[in-house]
Structures are given as C-alpha cells and as structure tokens.
C-alpha cells in the first residue's frame, strides 16, 4: 500500500475547493512528485453541504475546527479561511498538537507571524505559506531557496490584482475610479467590500512577509507606510500618460545604509518598463540581489487554481520532508526608515480656478523649502509638477503651507515616481 499523507483543511471557498479539485485532477502526478499519496480527510467550513456535493462524500465535512486538530491521523492542516480569528487560534492549536501548517493568510502572518513561527519552533513543526503572496507565483520559494545565497537590496512589486485591474482599466479607457471598480466587482476581481484591496492593506501585508524573508527581520506591518488608490482620478491617469508614465500601486522595500525603507503607494512608472506592462489582474515582483542582479517574477496573483497551485506545492514539500522555519537572522541588525525620512521624486497636480495666482504661489513656496521642480505642465486649470528627490517631511511641510495659504481650498494630488524598475 502506498504511503499516505493525511490532510485536514479549514475553509472551502474559492481557494479551498480549488485545492481539492486540482489535487483530484492531478493526483497521480502529485503522488509521483511527492512520493506519497495525498489524501484530504476532513474539511471544516460553514457550508458543509457544498463540501459533500463537490467531493461526492469522499471527505468528512463539519463545522468543528477541533475535529481536524484532534484527529491523530492528520499530520498536515491547510488554513484557507482567511481573517485573523479563528484562523490564528486554529493554527496555534494545530502546531501544539504536532501538525505542520500550510496557510494562505497574509494578513495573519503580517500581523502575528512572529508568534506563529515562535510556536512552530517550540513544537519543531513547519509553517508553509507560498500562497500568501502573489498567488501562483513561487516568489516565497525563490527568496527562501533560489536566491538564498544573495544579499537582497530591493524588492518592488505589483502585489494586488484588484488594484492592478482597476488602474489598467483606467489607462485603457476613460473610466472613473468608481466605474473601473464596479467593473472589477462584476468580473469577480473585487469583493463587494473592496476596502482591504483599494486602501493598500493587502499589498502591505504581502510586502511585510517578503521583507521578513528577504532581510531576516521580524514581521513588520506599518499601516502609516501604506497608501491606496481610492483618490486617483482619470485626469491624473491622462496626465501621467502624457508625461510618459503609467500609475501602479507599487509595494517597495529597499535597504538604504542598513535601514529599510518600506512603502506601498500609487507610483508613476515609465511606460517602457516591464512592470508598466503588467496589466489586468496580474502580479509581478522584482527582486534585486548582489549576485544575481535583477530578477522578475510574473503571473497570476489571485484566483482559485493559481492559489491552489501554491498550496499544493507546499503540501508536496512537506511530503518530501522539507522544513519551513522562519526566524530573524541573528547577525542582521536592521531598523526601518521613518516615513518622514523617505526620499522620493514626486508628481504633484494642483487645481485652481486661478492658474496664474496658483503658479505665483506654488513655485516660490516650493523653492523656499528647497524643493527643485524638474518639469512644469499647465493644462486648463491644473498645474502639474515633477520634482527632484526630496524627503517626505519637507514635502509635507510645503504642501501644508500651501493648503493654509489657500484656506484649505487648494486641491492637489501627489504620486511618487519609481526610482528604478525594469
């Protein structure tokens, strides 16, 4: 009789059901590659009738998470419920009961990853999480294995398919943000409540995970370093195109003099760059290492089967006896750059009914704060500026002064310019 790896799964939504279906479809292939037969024995979810129907009664379905934790035959648990609780408690209890864990839960890892991996170390168990970042793109494995001999200096990526679809749609057609979002929801790219995606939180969680892996630091999610795309207008999209850029929600972490600059923000990327060509709901991650140079990973960042691909890769790794223990590098002493110290080139669009008056006030104010303007465009009632690199504190001080001068009636939009992308 072939050796079996018995699995329990918490969650049977888009990802969970896809894990089951892909495993069933590719069972023989996975068996060959894993060296073991993989069997999902139990599934816990709210809609047990769905599980019974899709699995034809071949798994035990229930609403009780403890049924997985307490089953001694189950050695691996897959968590694809999402959210913080009960997922966190479920994972911790599974580890305490001697089970290895596979999770796609980026929010949980970004905010409680240190606690989870500390428990894994205590119990000598593994936590695998390939599906937590960039869907089916094997970027976690690349950092842990393929690029393990490199000192990583920078990671920059498009990590949220919903935002990328919206921005791509606004570039292709003269759609407003609201119209593009509605289309994304109708196509299933955006949730009914898209807040997590469009405010940049999802990208921030994923960047936190990549940062920990790349630089050997504890998991660090800083909400103050995260901006979303909600305020982007079709006008700014048009102006960006005229200036030779596209707008992307870019997640970036860069090592600068032994400190890490971590940020998620709408960013202008040159139209001729590779990242600028990443459209619709696709993801891409650029990683820079001292030995390998620039590498680029591209593919489906979400979707049931793409994410299932990553989950099953982790299942196979466990079946083959691989370990996944994440801990800070003891030799690494790295702090995070304060947001006020971060330096960027900027796109700033001011709007006023009196363009001459605006120009006469804006330029002297920026000059007073030693902000150098590289390019000026006057379009209708809009003044568009591209600045040289300046620290965030100085820029915000200048923008605050201008707002006060205009009694808070001044309207402006600001984007960062990408420093260097493929």
Boundary (domain end) residue, out of 132, 155, 173 = 132
Q: Which of 113-117, 160-164, 350-354, 377-381 has the lowest mean pLDDT?
A: 350-354
Question: Residue 199 is part of a domain; what is its CATH number?
Answer: 3.30.360.10
Q: Do 152 and 66 reside in the same domain of the chain? A: no
> Residue range 129-144: average pLDDT?
94
Respond yes or no: is residue 96 known to be catalytic: no
Percent of the chain, pLDDT > 90? 79
Q: Do 405 and 383 reside in the same domain of the chain? A: yes
- Beta strands at 76-79 and 100-103: parallel, antiparallel or unpaired: parallel
Q: Do 175 and 233 reside in the same domain of the chain? A: yes
Any domain includes 320 = no
Boundary (domain end) residue, out of 264, 299, 334 = 299
Q: Do 269 and 173 reside in the same domain of the chain? A: yes
Question: Residue 43 is part of a domain; what is its CATH number?
Answer: 3.40.50.720
- Ramachandran quadrant class, 420 (left: phi over 0; alpha: psi -120 to 50; beta: rest): beta
What three-state secondary structure class fits 409?
coil
Rounded-to-integer distance, Cα 6 and Cα 23, Å: 13
* Structure confidence at residue 214 (pLDDT): 94
Any domain includes 58 = yes
Any domain includes 409 = yes
What three-state secondary structure class fits 67?
helix
pLDDT in tens, 190-208: 888 999 999 999 999 999 9
Q: Do 56 and 110 reside in the same domain of the chain? A: yes
Q: Do 105 and 152 reside in the same domain of the chain? A: no
Residue tagged 């990443």 (tokens): 278
Q: Do 128 and 147 reside in the same domain of the chain? A: no
Q: Which residue has the higher pLDDT, 76 or 409?
A: 76
* Structure confidence at residue 231 (pLDDT): 84
Q: Which residue has the higher pLDDT, 338 or 334?
A: 338
Residue 118 lies in domain: 4-132
pLDDT score of 7 more than 60? yes
What three-state secondary structure class fits 235?
helix
CA distances from 341 to 262, 330, 395, 398 (A): 11, 26, 11, 15
pLDDT score of 286 more than 90? yes
Q: Do 262 and 290 reside in the same domain of the chain? A: yes
Any domain includes 326 = no
Point out the catalytic residue in the list 206, 248, 255, 342: 206
Using 50, 70 and 90 to split pLDDT, how confident is the model at 381? confident
pTM of the model: 0.93
Number of CB atoms found within 10 A of residue 395's CB: 21
> Residue range 97-107: average pLDDT?
97
Any domain includes 34 = yes
Q: Do 110 and 152 reside in the same domain of the chain? A: no
* Structure confidence at residue 379 (pLDDT): 77
* Structure confidence at residue 412 (pLDDT): 84
What is the number of structural domains in the chain? 3
Q: Do 47 and 114 reside in the same domain of the chain? A: yes
Boundary (domain end) residue, out of 104, 132, 160 = 132
Using 50, 70 and 90 to split pLDDT, how confident is the model at 332? low
Any domain includes 76 = yes
Q: Do 124 and 220 reside in the same domain of the chain? A: no
> Residue range 59-71: average pLDDT?
96
Q: Do 182 and 238 reside in the same domain of the chain? A: yes
Question: Residue 362 is part of a domain; what is its CATH number?
Answer: 3.30.70.600
Any domain includes 330 = no
User: Is-contact 36 12, C-beta < 8 A?
Assistant: no
Any domain includes 195 = yes
pLDDT score of 349 more than 80? yes
């Amino acid at each position: 009789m072939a050796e079996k790896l018995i699995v329990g799964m918490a969650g049977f939504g888009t990802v969970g059901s896809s894990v089951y279906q892909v495993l069933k479809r590719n069972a023989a292939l996975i068996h060959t590659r894993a060296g073991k037969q993989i069997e999902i024995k139990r599934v816990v979810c709210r809609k047990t009738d769905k599980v019974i129907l899709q699995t034809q009664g071949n798994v035990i379905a229930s609403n009780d998470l403890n049924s997985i934790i307490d089953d001694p035959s189950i050695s691996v648990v897959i968590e694809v419920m999402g959210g913080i609780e009960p997922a966190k408690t479920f994972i911790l209890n599974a580890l305490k009961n001697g089970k290895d864990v596979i999770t796609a839960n980026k929010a949980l890892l970004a905010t409680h990853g240190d606690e989870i991996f500390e428990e894994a170390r205590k119990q000598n168990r593994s936590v695998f999480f390939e599906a937590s970042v960039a869907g089916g793109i094997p970027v976690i494995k690349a950092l842990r294995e393929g690029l393990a001999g490199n000192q990583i200096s920078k990671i920059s990526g498009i990590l949220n398919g919903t935002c990328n679809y919206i921005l791509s749609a606004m570039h292709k057609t003269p759609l407003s943000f609201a119209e593009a979002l509605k289309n994304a929801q109708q196509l299933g790219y955006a949730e009914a409540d898209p807040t997590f995606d469009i405010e940049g939180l999802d990208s921030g969680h994923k960047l936190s995970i990549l940062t920990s892996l790349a630089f050997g630091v504890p998991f660090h999610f800083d909400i103050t370093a995260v901006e979303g795309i909600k305020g982007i207008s079709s006008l700014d999209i048009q102006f960006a195109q005229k200036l030779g850029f596209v707008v992307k929600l870019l997640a970036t972490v860069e090592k600068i003099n032994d400190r890490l600059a971590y940020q998620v923000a709408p960013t202008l990327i040159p139209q001729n760059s590779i990242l600028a060509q990443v459209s619709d709901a696709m993801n891409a991650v650029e990683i820079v290492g001292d030995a390998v140079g620039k590498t680029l990973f591209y593919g489906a960042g979400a979707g049931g089967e793409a994410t299932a691909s990553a989950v099953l890769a982790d299942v196979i790794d466990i079946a083959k006896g691989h370990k996944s223990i994440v801990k800070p590098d003891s030799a690494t002493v790295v702090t995070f750059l304060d947001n006020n110290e971060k330096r960027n080139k900027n796109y700033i669009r001011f709007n006023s009914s009196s363009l001459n008056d605006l120009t006469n006030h804006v330029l002297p104010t920026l000059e007073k704060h030693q902000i150098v303007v590289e390019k000026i465009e006057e379009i209708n009632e809009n003044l568009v500026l591209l600045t040289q690199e300046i620290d965030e504190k100085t820029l915000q001080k200048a923008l605050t002064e201008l707002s006060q001068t205009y009694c808070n009636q001044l309207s402006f939009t600001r984007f960062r310019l990408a420093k260097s992308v493929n």
